[in-house]
């Protein structure tokens, strides 16, 4: 291989590494957002809500940067096979990460606007569900960094536990609505129903990322149905 070819290959690899680094940085910021969300649900901290809102434009900027990087990479390098998959998957992952950021912002604002503090048992279960999502985020980032298809499959399969926990909390909230039938409590509980559904949807987007990682590594699309919680089978 001559010097010019070495330079082309080096530039090619640098482009891929730069795209991957942008995705990892964006994912790490999303992970931080969900740590802040846990604190908001636990304490109702208004200043932490502001932290979440301040980070939101950074996620949008990462999404735009990754899109530009991938378009430039495909246009200039004409990549084949796995390298093309790497670029296209980065686009899809950044879209899912951006949506995860939106969900975090929406839940933060909804919790801040609650008419009353939820019963402690419901609050604790929502916190547990948030921890589950945080764990899934950490694992899917690890799978992306290490290009580990087995870890990606583990994340995909673990989403069923989030679905089951969603159903548990949903039933608790409905029971609370029945047991405490007044306007203020019903308004607060309705917001909680939207809150837990949004957190559950966050789990779905993490599963999307896991499937995208699997595709990048193997070139195969997962065709088997996603594992679901018992209530969704």
Question: Does position 232 have pLDDT exceeding 50, yes or no?
Answer: no
Q: Is the dihedral of CA 170, 176, 179, 182 positive or negative?
A: negative
pLDDT of residue 3: 43
Q: What is the mean pLDDT of residues 15-43?
A: 97
Structure tokens at 57: 């434009």
What percentage of the chain has pLDDT greater than the value 70? 94
pLDDT of residue 6: 46
Question: Does position 209 have pLDDT exceeding 80, yes or no?
Answer: yes
Half-sphere exposure of 123 (CA within 13 A, CB side): 16
Dist. CA 115–CA 126, nearest whole Å? 17
Q: What is the DSSP string of 50-113?
A: HHHHHHHHHHHHHHHHHHHHHHHHHHHH---HHHHHHHHHHHHHHHHHHHHHHHHHHHHHHHHT
Q: What is the pLDDT of residues 94-114, one digit of tens each?
A: 999 999 999 999 999 999 999
Question: Does position 8 have pLDDT exceeding 90, yes or no?
Answer: no
Full-model pTM: 0.91
Average pLDDT, rounded, for the chain: 92
Dist. CA 215–CA 142, nearest whole Å? 16
Banded pLDDT at 115 (limits 50, 70, 90): confident
Tell me 230's DSSP state.
G
Tokens 């951006």: give the residue. Answer: 98
Selected residue with higher pLDDT from 82 and 138: 138
Q: What is the pLDDT of residues 73-102, one digit of tens each?
A: 998 888 777 788 999 999 999 999 999 999
- Domain 3-232 indexed as CATH 2.60.40.10: no
pLDDT of residue 228: 76
């Amino acid at each position: 291989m001559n010097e010019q070819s070495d330079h082309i290959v080096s530039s090619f690899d640098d482009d891929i590494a730069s795209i991957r680094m942008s995705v990892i940085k964006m994912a790490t910021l999303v992970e931080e957002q969900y740590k802040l969300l846990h604190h908001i649900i636990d304490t109702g901290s208004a200043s932490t809500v502001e932290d979440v809102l301040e980070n939101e434009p950074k996620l949008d900027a990462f999404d735009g940067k990754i899109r530009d990087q991938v378009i430039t990479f495909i246009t200039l390098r004409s990549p084949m096979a796995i390298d093309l998959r790497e670029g296209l998957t980065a686009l899809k992952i950044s879209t899912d990460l951006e949506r995860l950021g939106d969900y975090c912002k929406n839940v933060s604002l909804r919790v801040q606007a609650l008419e009353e503090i939820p019963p402690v048992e419901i609050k604790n279960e929502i916190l547990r569900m948030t921890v589950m999502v945080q764990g899934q985020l950490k694992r899917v980032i690890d799978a992306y960094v290490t290009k580990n298809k087995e870890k990606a499959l583990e994340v995909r399969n673990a989403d069923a536990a989030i679905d089951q926990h969603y159903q548990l909390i949903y039933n608790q909230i409905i029971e609370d609505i029945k047991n405490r039938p007044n306007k203020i409590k019903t308004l607060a509980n309705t917001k909680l129903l939207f809150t837990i559904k949004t957190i559950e949807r966050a789990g779905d987007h993490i599963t999307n990322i896991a499937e995208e990682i699997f595709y990048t590594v193997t070139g195969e699309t997962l065709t088997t149905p996603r594992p679901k919680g018992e209530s969704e089978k």
